[in-house]
Structure 1
Amino acid sequence: MAQKKKKVNKPPKSSSSKFVFWIIGLIAIAIIGFIFLANNEKSDDSAKEEIDYANQPFLGEEDAPVSIVEFGDYKCPNCKNFADNVAPLIVKEFVDTGKAKFYYFHYPFINVDSERTAKFSEAVFHELGNEKFWEFHELIYDKQPEDTRYETIDVFTEEFLTETLEEMASEEEVKKVVAYFDTKAPEDAWESDEALGGKLGVTGTPTIFVNGKRFDGQTMDDLNELVEEASKEKGNE
């Protein structure tokens, strides 16, 4: 990623009360458990790894003590479930309260569509900035097809991605993104994310890290515990 981070980045969706969060959270527990059980084996190594957060898209306040990272694939059904049902809870509980920042790193593995979309979103981030990246990010997950055959066919073509961007950007902005997409730089950017994921032991998506420590829990309570632990450790540095 090459775009400079902003001081404060707000999510496109509005927040609700903490009471509502926990009501929704109870419903989401089963979803969270399914997502992580479906994609990740239990990690035997709980040691924290170094992650370079510089020039990566994020939601939250720059000085938030905890960094939550998602490694995702835009063609992954479980990543869509995460984006629709879990990420909003993370934003409400941790990002909106200033406890954490939320980052997105690319780990495209399903097919060429995954790689193409990762490259295009890198171009959006570089040319249009953090806020537009998250708008595009959300829109792409909204458009993920329900057809079970989609994993083996091209859906997120360059034409489709360009038309999607046109829904939220000006003609001039779209031209800038497409021109940058045609260079090697955005490909290098997502490949850097993917290489980091490999070093961290990512084997499926979504995979979550909290201040460099892999999240192997199954509920929001488990995640809250890890965030609180990371926050305390950060305060003791």
Structure 2
Amino acid sequence: MWALLAFLLVVAATGGFMVRRATAPLGGSQAAQGSSVGEVSRRNPADPFAVGAVDAPVVISEFSDFECPFCFRFANDTRPEIVSRYVDTGLVRIEWNDFPVNGENAEAAAKAGRAAAAQGKFEEFAQAYYKASAPISGHPHFVQSDFERFAQEAGVPDMEKFRRQSTDGTFDDAIEKAKAFGTSIGVSGTPGFLVGNQFISGAQPTEVFHRAIDAQLQKAAATEEGA
């Protein structure tokens, strides 16, 4: 079973979800492009921040910030192809990790994303957010009225609950813990990705992700054969 790759499940500081701790730190203030580290993945069937099979051979752990222009470049230009080629075929799972480092707008967007996730609509909210971000050059600077519009487009069922949770302190602690977790493994900028145990920094060309994913798939297959 792919899900039985040898990493211990422990509770990590990402809002209470189960996480597979990195077996080695990324090191320094920023991980090196292409460096190999321990896998960081949750593989929780109830995870509202994930897409793809829970037992997919490879997990992409994405550390992202809604306010980051490079994050929505990845989301709009590269992610759809990865989803079509790898996620929809059961080979890859993508797990989102909050890492809002671009000021108050980023923190507010992270809270809105979690409020949507609390009602099972994170993916839909993120897609609405990124679609609106596509024509923008630079930081989108979206505000609460925009978040509510995206939540409505996403089909969030209880908008009053969304408004309350996206503006009060419901998710403050979870977001701070998520940022602390990213920092603890060496993530310092967005977007950052752990493709299996290989770190990729920034919105790299799609081919960079293909090479990393294919290498990790080969590694996973070799591990399975040797088990």
Q: CA deviation at 1:181?
A: 2.5
8 A contact 2:51–2:94 mirrored in 1: yes
Any gaps of 5 or more consecutive residues in structure 1?
Answer: 6-39
- Cα distance change of structure 1 residues 2 and 75 upon mapping to structure 2, 3 Å threshold: closer
Higher helix share: 1
Q: Which TM-score applies when normalising by structure 2?
A: 0.73
The CA distance in 2 between the partners of 1:196 and 1:2, in whole Å, is: 10
Tell me the equivalent position of 1:211: 196
Distance in 1, matches of 2:107 and 2:62, equals 16
Q: Superposed, which structure 2 residues align to 1:85-104 within 5 Å?
A: 85-104=77-96
Q: 2:125 aligns with which of 127, 136, 154?
A: 136
Give the Å deviation of 1:225.
1.3
2:67 aligned residue (59, 75, 78):
75
Q: Is the 8 A contact 1:65 1:234 kept in 2?
A: no
CA distance, structure 1, for counterparts of residue 153 and residue 132 of structure 2? 12
The yes-or-no answer on 1:167 pairing with 2:153 is yes
Amino acid at match of 1:161: F
Q: 1:65 to 1:176 in 2, by over 3 A?
A: same
Do residues 111 (structure 1) and 100 (structure 2) align? Answer: no
The answer on whether the counterparts of 1:120 and 1:186 sit within 8 Å (CA) in structure 2 is: no
Matched residue type, 1:180? Q
* 1:165-201 alpha-carbon deviations (Å, 9 max, x no partner): 123336x511121222244232222222211110121
CA distance in 2, matches of 1:191, 1:136: 21
Q: Distance in 2 between matches of 1:60 and 1:83?
A: 16
Identity across matched positions, percent: 25
Determine helix, strand or coil for the equivalent of 1:124: helix
> Is the 2:105–2:142 contact (alpha carbons within 8 Å) kept by the matching residues of 1?
yes
Change (3 A) 1:43 1:121: same
Deviation at residue 134 of structure 1 after TM alignment: 0.6
Q: Which runs of 5+ in 2 are unaligned?
A: 1-13, 19-29
Within 5 Å, give how 1:1-237 maps onto structure 2. Answer: 42-43=32-33, 46-54=36-44, 55-126=47-118, 128-129=119-120, 132-144=121-133, 148=137, 151=139, 155-169=141-155, 173-215=158-200, 218-233=208-223, 236=226
> What RMSD, in angstroms, separates the aligned Cα atoms of the two structures?
3.0
Partner Cα distance (1:104, 1:235) in 2: 29
Structure 1 residues 164 and 96: CA distance shift in structure 2, 3 A: closer
Structure 1 CA distance for aligned equivalents of residues 67 and 34 of structure 2: 28
1:67–1:100 CA contact under 8 A, matched in 2: yes
What amino acid is the match of 1:106? D
AA of the residue aligned to 2:170: A
Instruction: Quote the Cα distance in structure 1 between the aligned partners of 2:16 and 2:179.
Output: 18
Q: How many residues align?
A: 196
Q: Deviations over 1:59-117 (max 9, x none)?
A: 11122232111111111111111001111121122211111211111111112111100
TM-score by length of 1: 0.70
Q: CA deviation at 1:4?
A: 9.0
